[in-house]
Amino acid sequence: MLKNITIGQYFPGNSAVHRMDARMKILLTIALLVDVFVSKGFIGFGLIFAFVLLVARTTKISLSFIVRGLKPIAFIAVFTFVLNLFMQTGGETLFQWKFIHITSGGLRTAVYMAIRLLLLVTASQLLTLTTSSLSLTDGLEALMRPLAVIHFPAHEIAMMMSIALRFIPTLMEETDKIMNAQKARGADFESGNLIRRAKAMVPLLVPLFVSAFRRADDLALAMEARCYRGGKGRTRMNQLHMTKVDLYGALAVALLTAALVTLNLLGAV
Amino acid sequence: MSHLSHVYMRGTPFEARALDDVSFTIEDGAFVGVIGHTGSGKSTLITHLNALLRPEEGRVIINGIDTAAENADLKTVRRTVGLVFQYPEYQLFEETVKRDVAFGPKNLGVTGDALEKQVENAMALVGLDPALGEKSPFELSGGQKRRVAIAGVLAMEPQVMVLDEPAAGLDPAGRADMLNLVKKLHQAGKTVVMVSHSMEDVGRMCQRLIVLNHGKIAFDDTPANVFSHPRELEEMGLDVPQSVKLAIRLREKGFDIPQDVTSVAALAEALLGQLGKAGDANA
């Protein structure tokens, strides 16, 4: 059951997107996320969607794999849709029955929010799918470095993130193992009401925490044994380099942003 | 179990065929060793034995229950086949040893005196001092923790015990204790399936060996017959026990060592017999 989570997973490959500099990819993804909110109409969303689709094709990752990553979000998307549909007002009334009151304005906001959510997740997914967690945190650290002026612990945060990311699969595997072991002892994680299910988690969570703490201890020891003393004066084995691909990527996103801004200025909906 | 195959993460670049057309039958009361190098499919195989994994292709039949069937009675299967994973001490979670051991039978609906009895029996069987019952399992030593975990499975009173590397990570004395415990379980009438890396252990203890290689069964025979193929075993990244190696070398030098020698004790006996004869001839 834990194997089907694709969000945040790295999908190895050698496409242009894979080869881009992590820093540029992070910046461009942020730009894309801003674009999603700048856009105020279906033409804009269409443009972004086309762009995201284009990037997805370039990565050579199968679309079904990307769509699978949207599954956990689907519920939230539907939820926001319904919430906005009933709560937002404005425009003409489309449907009214007792206290239910649907307006065209509400409908539009609802559709927009759902689309935005799905685009947001897809765009950020493309980042994590094409960037290994190592270069991702390297990129983040490089981008946060200027903040050191205000004593922002960029290196520590990047290190924490890379450790956390590194241990997600390990912990999942561990969870799977413990779950199997408890199931072999007749534990039942799938049936019963909410309270029973929460109680059934105890035999899973206690060993998981115990082993997580043990792992943390081991890791700290292993890092100290290799003379880790924080980020100061640390050099890197893999330097980040910007290449032509990054330039093209930046140009493409800039073009998209320009188009969206123009659309907004023209007032097209 | 017949024609069992299992594919992990089908349709992704991580796809891997863990088991490929594996068939065998294990009789009641048998003591079977499963060997194979890392990644040969041992763990996948044993998780099929108590229906934690259901067959993707082929069938697994435990006491007449087909685990591939939609409505298979998995609870009965899990009660019949007790599965002890590698490093089982990591599954402990209760406040006291007793309560942890009772977790399994409780899940099967055992209560009251019967529960108490099953817990006591299981603890006695693995050689745990009843006085430890009220202690926290996290205070015990590694070997003791593992005993508690094994008792936790034994308390469900399964007919078949499947153990994955029960002696891994223990010191030599703990290792010997653990293997003795496994032997004791077999003598107590349980069918035992033991996964191991150690050719010495399985060669000495098991009546039958199943050798897995890349998800396929390479050998399924008595230890003596399996170890008579040292070259093939080496190609699979496996080895034969030291005693068998020595027996082969001695045979090349003209000693008459029977083929069924798979343990140090048996080899010593055969050698003593030989030397005795030689001594008689010289006299």
Q: What is the pLDDT of residues B167-206, one digit of tens each?
A: 888 888 888 889 999 999 999 889 999 998 888 888 888 8
How many domains does the structure of chain A reveal?
2
Domain membership flag for residue A140: no
The nearest CA of chain A is from the CA of B189 a distance in Å of: 20
User: Can you tell me the distance from the alpha carbon of B147 to that of B125, in angstroms, rounded to the nearest whole number?
Assistant: 10
Q: Is the pLDDT of residue B2 over 70?
A: no
| Chain A residues touching residue B6 (CB < 8 angstroms) | none
8 A C-beta contact, residue B192 and residue B208: no
Quick one: average pLDDT of B232-250? 82
8 A C-beta contact, residue B158 and residue B121: no
Of B9, B91, B138, nearest to A181 by CB-CB distance is: B91
A197 touches chain B (CB under 8 A): no
- pLDDT above 70 coverage of chain B, percent: 92
The nearest CA of chain A is from the CA of B257 a distance in Å of: 44
User: Can you tell me the distance from the alpha carbon of B151 to that of B94, in angstroms, rounded to the nearest whole number?
Assistant: 14
The domains found in chain B, sorted by start residue, are 2-223 (3.40.50.300), 241-283 (no CATH)
Q: Is the dihedral of CA A31, A36, A38, A39 positive or negative?
A: positive
Q: Show the tokens assigned to A52.
A: 């995201």
Domain membership flag for residue A99: yes
Q: Which run of H or of E encompasses B115? A: helix B112-125
Specify the range with the lowest mean pLDDT, choosing from A87-101, B46-60, B119-133, B224-238.
Answer: A87-101
Residue B278 — pLDDT band, cuts 50, 70, 90?
A: low
Quick one: average pLDDT of B64-90? 84
A127 and A59 in a common domain: yes
A65 touches chain B (CB under 8 A): yes
- pLDDT above 90 coverage of chain B, percent: 20
Residue B3 — pLDDT band, cuts 50, 70, 90?
A: very low
8 A C-beta contact, residue A178 and residue A191: no
Q: Show the tokens assigned to A129.
A: 């799918």
A48 and A169 in a common domain: no
Q: For residue A99, give Cα distances in angstroms to A86, A89, A96, A183, B122.
A: 10, 13, 7, 48, 63
Domain membership flag for residue A139: no
Quick one: average pLDDT of A157-172? 84
Give the model's pLDDT for residue B8: 47
Residue A221 — pLDDT band, cuts 50, 70, 90?
A: very high
Helical axes B242-252 vs B264-282, angle rounded to 10°: 30
Q: Which of A7, A58, A33 is nearest to A257 (CA)?
A: A33
CB contacts under 8 A, A 7-26 vs B, are 11-12
Q: Show the tokens assigned to B100.
A: 């942890």
Q: Which residue has the higher pLDDT, B57 or B102?
A: B102
User: Can you tell me the distance from the alpha carbon of B100 to that of B88, in angstroms, rounded to the nearest whole number?
Assistant: 12
Domain membership flag for residue A197: yes
Q: Which residue has the higher pLDDT, B94 or B241?
A: B94
User: Can you tell me the distance from the alpha carbon of B210 to that of B41, in angstroms, rounded to the nearest whole number?
Assistant: 12
Q: Which residue has the higher pLDDT, A49 or B251?
A: A49
Give the model's pLDDT for residue A268: 52
A158 and A108 in a common domain: no
A210 and A159 in a common domain: yes
Hey, are the CB atoms on B91 and A65 less than 8 Å from each other?
Answer: no
User: Can you tell me the distance from the alpha carbon of A105 to that of A89, in angstroms, rounded to the nearest whole number?
Assistant: 6
Query: Residue B205: what residue type?
Result: M
Q: What is the pLDDT of residues B196-210, one digit of tens each?
A: 888 888 888 888 888
Mean pLDDT of chain A: 84
Give the model's pLDDT for residue A164: 84
Question: How wide is the angle at C-alpha B122 spanned by C-alphas B121 and B127, nearest 5°?
Answer: 95
Quick one: average pLDDT of A247-266? 88
Q: Is the pLDDT of residue B105 over 80?
A: yes
8 A C-beta contact, residue B28 and residue B52: no
| Chain A residues touching residue B14 (CB < 8 angstroms) | none
Q: How many CB pairs under 8 A join A and B?
A: 61
Hey, are the CB atoms on A210 and B47 less than 8 Å from each other?
Answer: no
| Chain B residues touching residue A14 (CB < 8 angstroms) | none
Q: Where are the alpha helices (DSSP H) in chain A?
A: 16-19, 22-38, 42-59, 63-87, 104-130, 133-144, 154-184, 194-200, 202-225, 244-266
A252 and A125 in a common domain: yes
Within a 10 A sphere around the Cβ of B94, how many other Cβ atoms?
19
What is residue B263's DSSP assignment?
S
Q: Which of A106, A182, A115, A129 is nearest to A15 (CA)?
A: A129
User: Can you tell me the distance from the alpha carbon of A80 to that of A101, in angstroms, rounded to the nearest whole number?
Assistant: 16
| Chain A residues touching residue B93 (CB < 8 angstroms) | 202-203, 206-207, 210
Q: Which of A49, A27, A25, A26 is nearest to A36 (CA)?
A: A49
**Longest CA pairwise span in chain B (Å):** 74
Quick one: average pLDDT of B1-30? 61
Q: Which residue has the higher pLDDT, A80 or B11?
A: A80
What is residue B226's DSSP assignment?
H
Give the model's pLDDT for residue B277: 66
Q: What is the dihedral of CA A184, A190, A195, A198, to 10 degrees?
A: 60
Q: Is the pLDDT of residue B14 over 50?
A: no
Give the β-pairing of B16-22 and B2-8.
antiparallel
A163 and A104 in a common domain: no
Give the model's pLDDT for residue A220: 92
Quick one: average pLDDT of B245-252? 83
Show the domain range for A213: 153-225
Q: Is the pLDDT of residue B13 over 60?
A: no
A226 touches chain B (CB under 8 A): no
Quick one: average pLDDT of B95-119? 91
A253 and A185 in a common domain: no
A210 touches chain B (CB under 8 A): yes
Domain membership flag for residue A230: no
What is residue B137's DSSP assignment?
G
Hey, are the CB atoms on B90 and A211 less than 8 Å from each other?
Answer: yes
8 A C-beta contact, residue B42 and residue B36: yes
